[in-house]
Amino acid sequence: MTQSPATRDANNLPASLTKADKVTNTQEAAPRPQVTVRPTKKPAPTTTPPAVSPSPSPSPPSPLTPAQAFDALYGFCAPALVRQTYLLCGRRELARESVEQAFQLAWQRWPEVAVDRDPAGWVRATAYEYALSPWHRFRPRFRHPEPPPAHAPDRALLDVLLTLPAPYRRTLLLYDGVGLDLPETAAETEASTPATANRLLHAREAIAARLPALASPAELHRRLAEVASAERLRAAKPPTVRMAGERRARFWTRAAIAFTVAIIGATALTVRTAPTQYEPPVPPGETVQGVPPRAAPGPLSGKELKLRAKLRSQTANGPERLLPQSR
């Protein structure tokens, strides 16, 4: 039986669309029923149906406030991020501090973090940078090592991780621990994709050389998760982190204002007390050699005494002082 073009086109459509088209076409093709209207003498009174008020449409959900959005991000990322930073630095206290510092910085820059393509990645990168910072070794409370994990296999894996260079350790954790792909790992570590691949291969080789049972990436991923989950690492509450970030921001703001005021005051004092013209320096004095000592005056003679008395009496009181003699 030969099908018409319209039938073939209908058969090529999806089932949902074909069914709807078939129903519509059937309704249009059906003949209209002929209804005969016979008027009566007394038509039945028509009553208007009561107006039915439309049901109110559900209001759209109100957007989250910045504090609520921050708390949601913190609750989603902080527990896992503390365990990840512990694998990076090997210190429980430093891991918690790194996560709290990262989220405090995120709260200070929340307008930037809220519109970021990956807010969790932004916070993770900041926490990793803080945990791997080399200046922590100079802090007094981090000079002594913390107690290692209780289980021997966990201690062995953590020791191997801490012997790796920081870039290798971070790349291995992002790829085999977090589960990022190679381009994302390269972007977060700010390295090229070939360099990231080399770091990952060298890190795996170093671990497999000391722990042959972890040569498989799947087994390594499982063991990383077990070591991180074995430790009881808890982050602070979101309101505590937010308030600490706000206090820190206020402190640095006030410090910057005080420093600016001090600079302005020092500048004004310098302008006020600085000389307005060049003053040549006074040369240092020199001792003159060969000068005879100054002789002390001796007693006056009788003639000198009379002369002094005459000068004192006549010069000061005589008419010569007021009316000098003309010559």
Write out pLDDT tens, residues 25-56.
333 333 433 434 344 444 444 555 444 455 55
> What is the pLDDT, as a whole number, of residue 64?
80
Q: Which two tokens stand for residue 27?
A: 């309704």
In this prediction, what percent of the chain has a pLDDT beyond 90? 40
Task: Characterize 131-150 residue by residue with b for buried, 16 or more Cβ atoms within 10 angstroms of its Cβ, and e for exposed.
Answer: bbeeebeeeeebeeeeeebe
pLDDT digits (tens, 9 = 90+) for 63-102: 788 889 999 999 999 999 999 999 999 888 999 999 999 9
State the Cα–Cα distance between residues 71 and 76, nearest whole angstrom: 8
> What is the pLDDT, as a whole number, of residue 34?
42
Task: Return the minimum-mean-pLDDT range out of 21-30, 212-221, 313-322.
Answer: 21-30
Q: Which two tokens stand for residue 86?
A: 């512990």
> What is the pLDDT, as a whole number, of residue 302?
86
Nearest-CA neighbor of 158 among 169, 174, 143? 169
Give the chain's domains with CATH numbers. 65-146+237-271 (no CATH), 148-231 (1.10.10.10)
> What is the pLDDT, as a whole number, of residue 305?
87
Task: Return the minimum-mean-pLDDT range out of 12-16, 122-126, 289-293.
Answer: 12-16
> What is the pLDDT, as a whole number, of residue 4?
44
Q: Which two tokens stand for residue 264?
A: 């302005």
176 CB neighbour count, 10 Å cutoff: 24
> What is the pLDDT, as a whole number, of residue 228?
85
> What is the pLDDT, as a whole number, of residue 319?
58
> What is the pLDDT, as a whole number, of residue 161?
92
Q: Which residues neighbour 168 within 8 Å (Cβ) at sequence distance 6 or greater?
A: 199, 200, 202, 203, 206
2 pLDDT above the threshold of 50: no
State the Cα–Cα distance between residues 81 and 193, nearest whole angstrom: 24
> What is the pLDDT, as a whole number, of residue 185?
93
Averaged pLDDT for residues 253-272: 93
> What is the pLDDT, as a whole number, of residue 54?
54
152 pLDDT above the threshold of 50: yes
321 pLDDT above the threshold of 50: yes
> What is the pLDDT, as a whole number, of residue 35?
37
**HSE toward the beta carbon, residue 131, CA cutoff 13 A:** 32
Task: Characterize 215-253 residue by residue with b for buried, 16 or more Cβ atoms within 10 angstroms of its Cβ, and e for exposed.
Answer: eeeeebbebbeebbeebebebeebeebbebbeeeeeeee
State the Cα–Cα distance between residues 287 and 269, nearest whole angstrom: 39
pLDDT digits (tens, 9 = 90+) for 168-218: 999 999 999 999 999 999 999 999 999 999 999 999 999 999 999 988 999
Q: Which two tokens stand for residue 240?
A: 């505590």
Quickly state the pLDDT bin for 10 (edges 50, 70, 90): very low
Provide the 3-class DSSP secondary structure of residue 275.
coil
Q: Which two tokens stand for residue 221?
A: 């991923």
> What is the pLDDT, as a whole number, of residue 112?
92
Q: Which residues neighbour 122 within 8 Å (Cβ) at sequence distance 6 or greater?
A: 106, 113, 116
Supply the pTM of this predicted model. Answer: 0.63
> What is the pLDDT, as a whole number, of residue 288?
82
Give whole-number Cα distances, 77 to 47, 73, 178, 187, 248, in Å: 64, 6, 12, 20, 22
CB 92 within 8 A of CB 231: yes
> What is the pLDDT, as a whole number, of residue 174?
94
Q: Which two tokens stand for residue 183?
A: 């381009």
